[in-house]
Chain A
Amino acid sequence: MILLRKQAINDAPWKILFSALFLSFIGLVALNSISYQNTTIIQNPFYKQLFFLFIAFCTFSISFITPKYIIHKYAFIIYGVGIFIVILPFFGSAHAGTYRWLDVGLPINFQPSEFSKIFSVIALARYLSDNNLKIQKFRSIVLPILIVLFPALIVLKQPDLGTALVMLSIVFPMLYWAGARPFYLFLLIAPILSILTAFNVILFSIWALIIAIVIFYARTKIIAGVGYFFGNIFFGLLARPIWEILNPYQKNRVLTFIYPEKDPLGAAYQIIQSKTAIGSGGFFGKGWGEGTQTHLKFLPVQESDFILSVIGEELGFMIIAIILITFGYLLNTIIRYSFLSKDKFSSLILLGLGYILLAHVFVNTAMTVGLIPVKGLPFPFISAGGTFLVTSYIMIGLIMRFSIHYSD
């Protein structure tokens, strides 16, 4: 049972693994470029990454040979373990004021929230693939949201807004994939957007119009539709007075949470430096090891969160485009296998894991070019960082396993 049949191994979509390894290879090239100044091997991000890549390959193999039914059977237990390990760091000491890291007594620390993302996907897939679930009902989509909300809130408390957002981002695609009515998903997202748009009159008016149109086409009962429409307007109108009640100190906290750029010492400086590095790279880049922005260390956390800026500067748009297209190809391969999958559980797992990768790629890449506020999220397969690299390859292992059509 544990071992796969030869046929199954041949059928596994190895192109997924190769795409990932290709991205890791580009990452190593970039890391080697920025590593030459570091003296000791233990501090050198290149050798560190190489070491973790080896571990990642081992964990990949383990997750690849783990039978599907075991994961299906123990999905909720796995989820419970996931919750437990994200709570663990709170019992330890804070690292730089956060509780993301778990000190395991090794020279390397371990960031449990990375694993929880996978575990949430598994639990969600298990719940949504249940035969008895009436996904068309509104209440069937409330529990899945709670399943991801719970670990996400703990992670938010660590505090790690980036990871929490990634965890939350999978729930709507998976619900949609499982067949939930898009209208209900809209109903859930709408109040959040109502609050956010409330600070701009034009945006708010456009948004109100969109709500009205959607409600009209969804052909709800008139009372429910009207009630929902005005409920949203009310939400929006309430947002401003509540904001005004907050004292300046609280407002500031919220603002720097959402827009770290407000802090001139930190994020604004980072974004400017990152954009300068990327923009000055041009189509072919300045050449490997030639990035002036990078090598004068103007770029902060260049080996992890801002690795794309290093690549953009030294290797140029050409390689960036190759990276993003490779990722697009990888993601669409996953989505295709998800679509072709025979059973719902496998299909949902594939889609969930794929969208986790997408969320990481989007947030990280958009951040380096100033499209969204700075959130400390790494780029899968490329950024230096042990735990994340290992989890990424565990995901690849799972994805490949669940892509095989044979049920074991």
Chain B
Amino acid sequence: MLKSDNIVSHKQYQIARILSWTMVIILIARYFQIQIIEHEIYKLKSNTNRIRKVTKSAPRGLILDRFGEILVDNYPVYVLTALPGEMNNKRMQFNLIADYIESDSSIIRSNYKKYYRGRFVPTRLAKDIDFLQLSNLEENKLNLEGVYYDQIPERYYPNGVRAPHLFGYVKEIDRVIRRNLNNKELYELGDLVGWSGLEKQYESYLMGERGTYFFEVDASGREVGSASELFDTRPDPGFNIQTTIDLDLQIFIEKLLENRRGVILVGKPETGGILAAASAPDYSPDLFTGSMTESEWRSVKNDPDTPLINRYIQGTYIPGSIVKMITQIAILKYGSSDLNMTYYCPGFYQFGDRIYGCWVTDGHGEVNMTQAMSMSCDVFFYKTVQEIDIDNLYSAFKEFGFGRKTNIDIPNEVAGLVPNKDYMFKRYGKYGWSKGALLNLAIGQGELLVTPMQVLNYINLLSTKGKSPNCHFVVVDNLPNNSKPKLEAMIWQQVNDGMRSAIIDKKGTGKKSDPKIDGLSIYGKTGTAENPHGDNHAWFTGWAEYINDKYSIVILLENAGSGGGVAAPLANKVFKKLVNNSLATLK
């Protein structure tokens, strides 16, 4: 059993003893050094200096309009934070706080759980504390050990612009969001992160860098200064971004769309910059800042008019007659038509065993190509489009950027749809569709789906003879490449003539859009898109030339009736506004 004898030598014993005492003495000596020799230093420190680490969110960069006016600003709001390690009775303190700020203690407790990161990391309890509440808290500070307040920058929209779809919103980072972020080490709980729109697209510019402060606090927990042995870093504000938006015009078109459903886009074709963009109905841009209640959120989310959808990049619409220029271009490019052809329009067209109606049931009579465009005669296009096939039409659409994302600089854009042969075969089978589909596509009906942003790009390209850069809200060094349609000068001219006569011709469908101002010439095309889900959508698309400026415009009004009757008068107002603004800048 335990028979092997112990043969430890005296030397071994001495070494083991010396080693153990040495270690104990080193420790005693070190305590002696700190507690006796350096006592005065530490005593001074403990009387005045206790160090607390606090991090501070950086203010996000501002979003400016084209003239440098502030569209999206920051505004300091008070938040209530707690250092969990310093709180002595959480339940009691939460109840007290709830009383003072007229909130519910369960909300405060759930915030605490949501933002808790560690015993000595400030944890947010409540936000948007007003001055009265703050003074309440201050009076009762003795009961609220470990509770502090702090200012944080929050988004604020100073100039009355709404444009919630454009700016997007920021979200406060909670545990779940933080876990799913790609660069989570850059964010703390309670920081803001761009969640949609420009805020999301330009997050890396706007976000800035958080700062870290070390404070010395006195025996009652008050901050008395910064800690000398640890280095502070200031929060580094994010970069401002300058948009192409014209503040004044933006407000104007938002007013125009009040109580309507639809889109207005105004752009500058030579640059691709967008001057104003509105999608209605919208929601207040500060819906997501502050404390949105559950019921507010639900009412916005479940609104049948879908205010959360950004219609100009996410709404897909049947274009109707506004794409007749594409048909015209395709016919002139791929067909053999000569420019002087005329057709008789009796108000309908029989193709096979089906009757295709013109929108004017009495017919347009004898029309040439320019007149067909001006009066938007469907029958003319039914006839002429038969010279080409569906893939010709498809490639003309593609050349003008339809059926793909425009790469506008706000996220979650959709691509719309332009059918070609493959698509039709896949969808309807080999014998499931006929050339009749082509007749529908020629007048912008059928399977076609476009977004208003694609239409703006298309108008930009038409007005610059294919040279317009990509649409954008923020000028960046390298814009995505836009499609560059190449056409004979004769075709461009024909398109121009047709769109011009739609405005100035006595029978022109878009004549109501013309405010008849000297020096202002308008080119346009209306559309009244038949819509299986309700009343027709009204379109007006076109551009205005005034002095040296060129403006493109897209108006879409959902279920509002005819383009010429409803959308064109709105365009009229926008053109007037543009002229006034342009005169104002000249002075």
Contacts and interface: CB of A to CB of B under 8 A. Distances in A.
A273 B20 contact: no
A225 interface: no
Nearest to A407: B2
A317 B31 CA distance: 7
B4 interface: yes
Given A282-B43, A365-B27, A338 B219 contact: no
A12 B221 CA distance: 52
A272 B88 CA distance: 23
A335 interface: yes
A31 interface: no
A106 B19 CA distance: 41
Contacts of A362: 23, 27
Contacts of A387: none
A317 B85 contact: no
A369 to B, nearest CB: 5
Given A39-B89, A179-B7, A341-B6, A278 B31 contact: yes
Interface residues of A, number: 67
A354 B16 CA distance: 11
B492 interface: no
A269 B52 CA distance: 9
A369 B34 contact: yes
B24 A328 contact: yes
B39 interface: yes
A13 B415 CA distance: 86
B23 A358 contact: yes
Contact of A273 (B1, B17, B35, B51): B51
Give the one of B23, B27, B32, B119 with max A CB within 10 A: B27
B31 A131 contact: no
B4 A344 contact: yes
B35 A283 contact: yes
Contacts of A324: 24, 27-28, 31
Contacts of A276: 42, 45-46, 49-50
B584 interface: no
Contacts of B45: 276, 279-280
B219 A296 contact: yes
Nearest to B118: A265
Contacts of B88: 37
Interface in A258-278: 264-265, 268-269, 272-273, 275-278
Given A293-B46, A321-B31, A369-B34, A332 B6 contact: no
Given A176-B12, A321-B28, A331-B20, A282 B35 contact: yes
Give the one of B5, B17, B24, B43 with max A CB within 10 A: B24
B36 A339 contact: no
A69 B2 contact: yes
A316 B38 CA distance: 13
A366 interface: yes
A177 B8 contact: yes
B186 interface: no
Give the one of B6, B17, B21, B47 with max A CB within 10 A: B6
A170 B418 CA distance: 77
A28 to B, nearest CB: 21
A321 B71 CA distance: 67
A199 B546 CA distance: 74
A215 interface: no
A45 to B, nearest CB: 15
B229 interface: yes
B34 A332 contact: no
B358 to A, nearest CB: 69
A197 interface: no
A335 B42 contact: no
A297 interface: yes
A325 B16 CA distance: 16
A320 B1 contact: no
B142 interface: no
B2 A339 contact: no
Contacts of B16: 173, 176-177, 335, 338-339, 351
Contacts of B1: 69, 72, 407
A317 B28 CA distance: 9
A314 to B, nearest CB: 12
Interface in B50-85: 50-51, 53, 85
Contact of A269 (B7, B25, B34, B51): B51
Contacts of B46: 276-277, 279-280, 292-293, 313
A300 interface: yes
B12 A278 contact: no
Given A335-B13, A351-B16, A317 B35 contact: yes
Contacts of B89: 37, 39
B4 A312 contact: no
A324 B47 CA distance: 27
A102 B16 CA distance: 35
Contacts of A320: 28, 31, 35
A317 B36 contact: yes
Contacts of A335: 13, 16-17, 20
Contact of B24 (A176, A280, A331): A331
Interface string B156-188: 000000000000000000000000000000000
A344 B6 contact: yes
Contacts of A265: 53, 118, 121
A11 interface: no
A343 B4 contact: yes
A79 interface: no
B339 interface: no
A90 interface: no
Contacts of B43: 279-280, 282
Interface in B85-119: 85-86, 88-89, 118-119
A203 to B, nearest CB: 20
Contacts of A268: 230
B2 A297 contact: no
B41 interface: yes
Contacts of A278: 31, 34-35, 42
B120 interface: yes
Contact of B85 (A297, A321, A371): A297
Given A276-B50, A282-B36, A332-B17, A371 B42 contact: no
Interface in A33-73: 37, 39, 68-69, 72
Nearest to B19: A173
Given A280-B42, A298-B50, A321-B28, A275 B34 contact: yes
A17 to B, nearest CB: 19
B141 interface: no
A43 to B, nearest CB: 11
A324 B2 CA distance: 34
A232 interface: no
A99 interface: no
A404 to B, nearest CB: 12
A278 to B, nearest CB: 5
A95 interface: no
Contacts of A282: 35-36, 39, 43
Given A272-B229, A280-B39, A312-B31, A328 B86 contact: no
B35 A279 contact: yes
12 contacts: A173-B16, A269-B53, A272-B230, A279-B43, A280-B43, A281-B35, A293-B46, A312-B31, A325-B28, A343-B5, A351-B16, A407-B1
Interface of A: 37, 39, 68-69, 72, 129-131, 173, 176-177, 179, 264-265, 268-269, 272-273, 275-283, 292-293, 296-298, 300, 312-313, 316-317, 320-321, 324-325, 327-328, 331-332, 335-336, 338-339, 341-347, 351, 354-355, 358, 361-362, 365-366, 369, 371, 407
Given A264-B212, A328-B20, A335-B20, 20 more contacts: A37-B88, A177-B16, A272-B51, A272-B230, A276-B49, A278-B35, A279-B46, A280-B47, A282-B36, A300-B119, A300-B120, A320-B28, A324-B24, A338-B16, A354-B20, A361-B27, A365-B27, A369-B27, A369-B31, A371-B30
